[in-house]
Amino acid sequence: MRLRHIPGAEEEIASSRWVYRSPEEVKQDLPSPLYLEIGMGKGGFIIESAKAHPDICYIGIEMYESVMIKATRRLDRMEEDERPSNLHFIRMDARDIGDFFPECSVDRIYLNFSDPWPKTRHAQRRLESEQFLRRFYPILKPGALIEFKTDNRELFDFALTEYDKAGFSLVFSTYDLHADAEAMKDNIMTEYEKKFSAKGNRICKYIIKR
């Protein structure tokens, strides 16, 4: 993935009041219920989710400063009465998630339009792979959910072969989310979801349970 370098992004994120900087900072006041979005991108989905559900605490996780800074700046621009107070971010590699969250501390994880890593030799880098799901499993509470959306049919088919190997069970699955009126009732669209569905791409979704 080629990302545009933004001068000063690392320092700006490090000083942002929306960002947790260490595992200790997260753990000292661990909220509940707690929902994570891993690979939050520009933050559109998680910001709107936090606004819609003020009783739930949200943490957005993003690896790249040049992407996360778009989310922190978006919060900075919002009026005080419109800005959700139940939202924070962490800049981290998802492989380190166990360092930040204790066992059985998370109620839900969202994986929205993850990098598909199309080459077979890179399959273990996919967030929906057995390897990553095994990292997520311990931090989830019993009965907690993972929700995954993508327009990439090959990635979705791959994901459907992985979850049971990591100990999860399937709750819901569709190859055309936007055609399912019941599933769309509480759906909050991501930036990519709006873009791809406008082009006529079908959006796939599954929900799996620990």
CATH of residue 5? 3.40.50.150
If asked whether residues 176 and 204 sit together in one domain, one would say yes
Q: What is the pLDDT of residue 28?
A: 85
Q: What is the pLDDT of residue 8?
A: 75
Residues of the chain with pLDDT under 70: 1-4
Length of the chain measured in residues: 210
If asked whether residues 152 and 83 sit together in one domain, one would say no
Q: What is the pLDDT of residue 184?
A: 94
If asked whether residues 110 and 76 sit together in one domain, one would say no
Does 210 reside within a domain?
A: yes
Q: What is the pLDDT of residue 7?
A: 73
Q: What is the pLDDT of residue 133?
A: 98
If asked whether residues 82 and 63 sit together in one domain, one would say yes
Does 22 reside within a domain?
A: no
If asked whether residues 108 and 54 sit together in one domain, one would say no
If asked whether residues 138 and 41 sit together in one domain, one would say no
Q: What is the pLDDT of residue 4?
A: 66
Of the candidates 70, 92, 114, which is a domain's last residue? 92
The residue range of the domain holding 195 is 103-210
Residues tagged active-site: 115
Does 48 reside within a domain?
A: yes
Q: What is the pLDDT of residue 130?
A: 97
If asked whether residues 174 and 81 sit together in one domain, one would say no
Of 139, 133, 200, the C-alpha closest to 169 is 133
The 10 Å CB-count burial string (b at 16+, else e) for 76-96 is eeeeeeebbebbbbbbbebee
> What whole-number distance in Å separates Cα of residue 94 and Cα of residue 205?
21
Q: What is the pLDDT of residue 3?
A: 59
Does 18 reside within a domain?
A: no
Work out how many domains the chain is built from and give that number.
Answer: 2
> What whole-number distance in Å separates Cα of residue 94 and Cα of residue 37?
10
Q: Would you state the structure tokens that stand for residue 85, as one six-digit string? A: 């107070």
Does 19 reside within a domain?
A: no
Tell me the pTM: 0.93
Does 21 reside within a domain?
A: no
Alpha carbon distances (Å) from 31 to 36, 40, 56, 115, 157:
11, 19, 9, 28, 34
Does 78 reside within a domain?
A: yes
Does 185 reside within a domain?
A: yes
